[in-house]
Amino acid sequence: MENRVVVTGLGVITPNGNDVPTFWKAMKEGKGAVGPLTSFDASKFDSRIAAEVKGFDPALYGMSSKEVKRIDKFGQYAVAAAKQAIASAGLDLEKEDRERIGVLIGSGIGSLYTIEQQHKIYLERGPSRMSPYLIPMLIVNEASGQVGISFGLKGPNTCVATACASGSHAIGDAFRILERGDAEVMISGGTESCITRTGLGGFCALRALSTRNHEPQKASRPFDLERDGFIMAEGCGLVVLETLQHAQKRKAEIIAEIVGYGMSCDAYHITAPDPEGDGAMRAMNLALKDAKLNPEAITYINAHGTSTKLNDKLETVAIKRSLGSHAKKAMVSSTKSMTGHLLGAAGGVEFVVCSLAIKENIVPPTINYEYPDPECDLDYVPNTARKAKVNVCMSNSLGFGGHNATLVVKKFK
């Protein structure tokens, strides 16, 4: 018999706040975090705006200056969010069997900053002056590894790299590990920090980013007729997942229950979504089947909703194909309108949103929704958060390569 799996802890580092209360307050108030890029001179780029993490201090999370030099920023974010999530869950690691606690954190890209920095050193000073930590700092599994090391967690430890679906795939895979009983606790989600010259330049070359540089706060506008691309963002969203038996044994507060996971591939194009929304639809259908729920059970969908022309239109098509007549009744919002697109971390942060929506019965809005698009005709909770009884949430993540992941989470009973 499969274990039931519950959510007991949350942790975030985001452009909208470096702790869960601050972040959630921004989501409820519809406050965006997009602004002019500050970490480097972006004057030569078509897109000169981003949603950057501000005021992050790794020392607040127990990282020494020596450790900071050896852990890239996306790894630092993961250690910080993990510390928050463990504290939020009330998990006393001294009383736990650490061989039964695992880590599964996704990242789409890993470190571009370290590659840029060390390549510059190579060109200017030669290979002998490059850092011996170059490889450990840039590889995608660094985040999971560092969290395991920082907290002495010796259970299953792996990572996922499926572009913008990484965080959701990581949570889904952790869910499966717990269902099978291969661990009792998993720390899971996504992390990303690649707002660099290379990252920005690459996405500009793809013509994927918004160029609304004169109005940064209005640039991320999912499902709006005047959307013109996504906004690069950075950060981390992690959750503590536990088997129900383990959570109840230690009398943990249960935030929500994860009940469904579906994944699929478009098998169509390396960056463009399937023109019929087929892959995303199948991921949603599989998640519903896994959760043993009918479409009518879905209260709220946290959409992938990137603010690009194709994604928003075709995700709308996929939702309508999956949910049928109920699609018009479900609330759908894209919190990327406020956070920007955290790439591999997006699914982790958005799963935190779904968990809080269930806990507090509040659906965060899609901000900057001004001009309805006839091809996007669902209830996108425009501009203002909505109080509503939220029983079941669906979270979609759709990544380059045609990778699709859908998670279903519901009120615990």
123 Cβ neighbours under 8 A, 6+ residues apart: none
Instruction: Kindly state the DSSP code that residue 62 receives in the 8-state scheme.
Output: T
Buried b or exposed e, range 85-98, using 16+ CB within 10 angstroms? bbebbebeeeebee
Taking Cα atoms as reference points, which of 386, 256, 400, 406 lies closest to residue 322? 406
Out of 304, 354, 393, 403, which one is annotated catalytic?
A: 304
Is-catalytic flag, 304? yes
| Contact indicator for 8, 252 with CB cutoff of 8 Å | yes
Token duo for residue 264: 């699929």
170 to 81, 163, 256, 304, 374: CA distances (angstroms)? 15, 12, 18, 16, 34
Out of 341, 354, 393, 403, which one is annotated catalytic?
A: 341
Taking Cα atoms as reference points, which of 221, 230, 197, 223 lies closest to residue 51? 230
Cα-based torsion angle of the residue sequence 201, 203, 208, 209 in order, rounded to the nearest 10 degrees: -60
Taking Cα atoms as reference points, which of 407, 164, 162, 400 lies closest to residue 274? 400
Is-catalytic flag, 194? no
Q: Is 4 exposed, middle or buried (0-12, 13-18, 19+ CB in 10 A)?
A: middle
Four-residue CA torsion sign, 1, 6, 363, 266? negative
* Overall residue count recorded for the chain in this entry: 413
Q: Which residues are bridge partners to 272 per DSSP?
A: none
Buried b or exposed e, range 248-274, using 16+ CB within 10 angstroms? eebebebbbbbbbbbbbebeeeeeebb
Out of 164, 194, 236, 354, which one is annotated catalytic?
A: 164
Q: Is 198 exposed, middle or buried (0-12, 13-18, 19+ CB in 10 A)?
A: middle
Instruction: Kindly state the DSSP code that residue 9 receives in the 8-state scheme.
Output: E
Taking Cα atoms as reference points, which of 194, 248, 224 lies closest to residue 366? 224
Buried b or exposed e, range 309-328, using 16+ CB within 10 angstroms? eebbbbbbbbbbbbbeeebe
Is-catalytic flag, 265? no
C-alpha–C-alpha distance, residues 365 and 332, integer Å: 9
Residues carrying an active site annotation: 164, 304, 341
